[in-house]
Amino acid sequence: MSALDIIERAGGGKRMADLKGRDLLTLHDYSPKDISAIIDLADKLKAELAERGSHMRRTLEGKSVVLYFEKQSLRTRVSFEIGVAQLGGQPVVIYSGNTHADRGEPRQDTARVLSRYAHGIVIRAYKHEDIVQTAEWADIPVINALCERAHPCQALADLMTIYEKRGRGKKTKVAYIGDANNIAASLMILLSKVGIDIALACPDGYKPEPALIAKVEGYAEAEGGSVEVVDRPVDAVKDADFVYTDVWVSMGMEEEERERREAFEGYCINNKLMKAAKSDALFMHDLPAHRGEEVSDNVIEGPRSIVFDQAENRLHAQKALLSLLIGD
C-alpha cells in the first residue's frame, strides 16, 4: 500500500493528489488539493505514531535521503533525520563545509552525484536560486528546507497545527507581526490557498513584495480568504485566532541587527498585544525565539503558546511530504 493509498483509505476511497516524484521548492507550485493530501497524511501518521509507537507502512524502506545543509539547523535536521528513519529509510546528513563545495565543485555536479546515490535531497541553502539549480540538475525529488525566500516545510507544519487547534472549514484569521521574511512569504502562500485570512503588520522597508501580495490575493479570492498588510501590530491582531511572529534578524542578516531592532521597535508580541486579539487567540513562532525582542517571555511561556506543538508537527508534516514525494 502506497502513501497515496493510505490517505485514500483514510478518506473513504476518495482520490487524492498524486505527488510522487515532484520537487517542493515553493508552495506556489502546490494546489489546495495537494496541500490537503499532505495534511491528511500528516494527521494519520501522527495519530498512528501516538497509538502504535511506529508506522505500519514504512514508505521509505530501502531508500536513502540526503539532508544537505549550508546553514545551521536544529528542528529541520532532527525532524527530517528522525522522520526518514521512522519511515524505514536511511538519512544521510551532509554539511556543505565538509564537502568540496567551498573549493569550487559546481552545484550541478553535486546534484548529479547525489542523484546516483540517493532517492531524494532535502536542502537548506542561503539562496533560493541554489535550491532551484539543484532541482534542475537532480534526477530525484528536491525539498526546500529553508532559503532566504521560502520555508515551505515550516508553513505546512503550521497549517497542520492551526487545523488541530481550530479545525478545518471554520473562518480563521492569522496575524503575522514582524519582517516579511521567508516564513511570512510561505505562510501567505499557504494560508491564502486554503482560505485562511492573514493580516501582516510590517514596518516600512520590511513589507512583502508587491508581486507576492498580488499573487496571494488571487489565491485568497479563489478560496474565500483575505490578505491584508498594515503598519500597526494592533490593527493586524484584531479578531485574530492566531498571532505569529519570527526573529527580527535571520541567519545571514547579522550585519543589519542594529538597523532592524530600531525598525521593529513596538512590534514585540506581549500580553497587551495578545489582549487586542480574540480572547482565545493562540501564539505561534517557528523558533528559535529571541525572548524580549520579538516576543516577551511571559507570552511564549504562557498558556496560549503553541510553539512546541508547531515544532513537533514539523516531524509529521515532513514525513507526509517524504512519503508522497519519495516513498512507495
Query: Shortest CA distance to 317 belongs to which of 85, 46, 32, 19?
Result: 46
Residues 229 and 209 in one domain: yes
Q: Find which of 6-20, 98-112, 200-214 is predicted with most confidence, using mean pLDDT.
A: 200-214
Domain that residue 114 falls in: 3-150+313-325
Q: How is residue 65 annotated by DSSP?
A: E
Beta-sheet pairing, 90-95 with 120-124: unpaired
Residues 30 and 105 in one domain: yes
Residues 113 and 210 in one domain: no
- Using CA atoms, how far residue 69 sits from 23, 52, 97, 203, 319, in Å, is 17, 32, 9, 31, 18
pLDDT tops 50 at residue 15: no
Residues 208 and 242 in one domain: yes
Q: CA 285, CA 296: separation in Å to the nearest integer?
A: 12
CATH number at residue 217: 3.40.50.1370
Q: What is the mean pLDDT of residues 171-187?
A: 97
Q: How far is CA 8 from the centre of its chain?
A: 24
pLDDT of residue 99: 82
Residues 143 and 228 in one domain: no
Split at pLDDT 50, 70, 90, the class of 13 is: very low
Residues 132 and 12 in one domain: yes
Split at pLDDT 50, 70, 90, the class of 9 is: low
Location of C-alpha cell 487547534 = 165
Residues 210 and 320 in one domain: no
Reported as a single tens digit per residue, the pLDDT across 119-157 is: 999 999 999 999 999 999 999 999 999 999 999 999 999
Residues 109 and 252 in one domain: no
pLDDT tops 90 at residue 214: yes
pLDDT of residue 316: 98
pLDDT of residue 60: 98
Residues 138 and 24 in one domain: yes
Q: What is the mean pLDDT of residues 246-263?
A: 84
Residues 216 and 141 in one domain: no
- Using CA atoms, how far residue 120 sits from 36, 94, 140, 304, 315, in Å, is 22, 13, 5, 37, 17
Residues 163 and 130 in one domain: no
Q: What are phi and psi of 229, to 5 degrees?
A: -120, 125
Reported as a single tens digit per residue, the pLDDT across 286-296 is: 999 999 999 99
pLDDT tops 50 at residue 14: no
pTM score of the predicted model: 0.94
How many structural domains are present in the chain?
A: 2
Residues 19 and 117 in one domain: yes
In this structure, what is the dihedral angle of CA atoms 149, 151, 152, 156, given to the nearest 10 degrees? -140
Note the residue count of the chain. Answer: 328
Cell of 260: 532592524
